[in-house]
């Protein structure tokens, strides 16, 4: 990639995000653009890409905006990996995201942004606050943001990004216009990725249809790794391999990939058991043999354990020990408990 990640995200747009950008543009042209927007949608759908493209347009209104070029999968992957790198950006863009080692934006970050908004814009125009993972804010951070939402400075816009908008306090939600960014259709994602149907199907299941996560998965050629994961779980279910060995391997390679794969597989199996997924809808990766003897209750327990461990990655938890506990639940002699 020849340009900094931030500039790529600002000037190029994932093709399925054009309707959402058009809505924002129409609201602004009609002078109906409120000062606060809650941009909601599932992880990996491109909310940050949309927000940065629109932020650039708000900050550069003195010149006509160019029609955004399509953001290619390689550019999207590179931007995701580098988006928080120290690159130059517009001085009136206040971009808030969880600091290293943290899971949420802090109250100090919100207060610093609020103080900056009270100053005159460096470029003499708009000021934009872009707040990632707004739904994970602490109560103190949300209260600090509320004051800015209630008393915004002139020509100020706040773009709040959330995977689960209902986790935000009602006082925050009620002061924002909402823009839902749904997952794009499978056909559109397949065209954008340009991959073979079998690779696309496996990536779709593993990521739950998240286009940006699929791009990263395929870029790293990690689809092939799931075959090894599948074989290892099969062997554990048959008591043919030591789970300590598998846990050590997963913890040293890519525990996030392994846990994401396990949760997706369990989710499909649970849905099938409950009758919410037809046989024709099932993907060929379902591990029928690995946990066919596990009770539905055991499947739910395993899903909750895997999902909880996935959310704890990076928090200092003993990942290998957690994986051992998870894999223990797949042993055949524990399926009836």
pLDDT tens, position by position, 19-40: 999 999 999 988 888 899 999 9
Residue 164 — left, alpha, or beta (φ > 0 → left; ψ -120 to 50 → alpha)?
A: beta
Residue 158 in 3-state DSSP?
A: strand
**CA atoms of 169 and 171, how far apart (whole Å):** 5
pLDDT tens, position by position, 4-20: 455 666 789 999 999 99
Q: What are the boundaries of each domain within the chain? A: 5-180, 222-334
**CA atoms of 212 and 210, how far apart (whole Å):** 6
pLDDT tens, position by position, 32-65: 888 999 999 998 999 999 999 999 888 887 555 6
Which of 109-118, 142-151, 196-205, 217-226 is the least confident region? 217-226
**CA atoms of 55 and 9, how far apart (whole Å):** 11
Instruction: Write the CATH number of the domain with boundaries 5-180.
Output: 3.40.50.300
Q: b/e string for 307-332 if b means 16 or more Cβ within 10 A?
A: bebbeeeeeeeebeebbbebbebbeb
**CA atoms of 134 and 167, how far apart (whole Å):** 9
**CA atoms of 285 and 227, how far apart (whole Å):** 9
Q: For residues 280 and 84, which has the higher predicted lDDT (pLDDT)?
A: 84
Statement: residue 1 has pLDDT above 70: no
- Report H helices in the chain: 5-11, 18-29, 47-59, 73-82, 107-117, 139-150, 170-173, 186-193, 197-207, 211-219, 223-237, 243-252, 255-273, 288-291, 296-312, 319-328
- Entry pTM: 0.78
Q: Which residues contact 262 (CB under 8 A, 6 or more apart)?
A: 229, 233, 302, 306, 326
107: which 2 tokens? Answer: 């109250």
Phi, psi of 308 (to 5 degrees): -65, -45
Which of 144-158, 216-230, 241-255 is the least confident region? 216-230
What is the residue-averaged pLDDT of the chain? 83
Statement: residue 84 has pLDDT above 60: no
Residue located via tokens 């103190």: 140
């Amino acid at each position: 990639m020849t340009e900094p990640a931030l500039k790529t995200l600002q000037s190029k747009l994932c093709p399925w995000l054009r309707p959402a950008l058009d809505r924002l543009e129409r609201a602004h042209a009609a002078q109906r653009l409120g000062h606060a927007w809650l941009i909601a949608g599932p992880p990996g759908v491109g909310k940050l890409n949309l927000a940065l493209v629109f932020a650039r347009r708000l900050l550069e209104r003195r010149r006509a905006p160019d029609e955004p070029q399509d953001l290619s999968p390689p550019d999207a992957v590179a931007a995701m990996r580098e988006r928080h790198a120290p690159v130059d950006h517009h001085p009136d863009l206040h971009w808030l995201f969880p600091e290293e080692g943290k899971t949420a934006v802090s109250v100090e970050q919100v207060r610093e942004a609020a103080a900056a908004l009270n100053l005159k814009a460096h470029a003499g125009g708009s000021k934009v606050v872009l707040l990632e993972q707004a739904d994970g804010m602490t109560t103190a951070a949300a209260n600090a943001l509320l004051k800015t939402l209630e008393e915004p400075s002139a020509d100020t816009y706040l773009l709040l990004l959330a995977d689960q908008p209902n986790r935000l306090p009602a006082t925050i939600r009620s002061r924002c216009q909402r823009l839902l960014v749904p997952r794009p259709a499978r056909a559109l994602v397949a065209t954008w990725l340009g991959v073979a149907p079998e690779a696309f199907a496996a990536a779709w299941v593993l990521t739950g249809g998240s286009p940006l996560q699929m791009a990263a998965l395929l870029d790293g050629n990690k689809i092939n790794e799931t075959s090894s994961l599948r074989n290892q779980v099969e062997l554990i279910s048959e008591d043919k391999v030591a789970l300590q060995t598998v846990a050590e391997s997963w913890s040293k390679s890519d525990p996030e990939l392994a846990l994401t794969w396990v949760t997706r597989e369990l989710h499909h199996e649970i849905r099938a058991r409950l009758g919410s997924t037809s046989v024709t809808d099932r993907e060929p990766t379902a591990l029928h043999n690995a946990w066919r003897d596990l009770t539905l209750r055991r499947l739910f327990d395993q899903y909750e354990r895997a999902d909880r461990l996935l959310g704890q990655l990076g928090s200092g938890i003993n990942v290998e020990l957690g994986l051992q506990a998870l894999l223990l639940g797949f042993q055949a002699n524990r399926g009836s408990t």
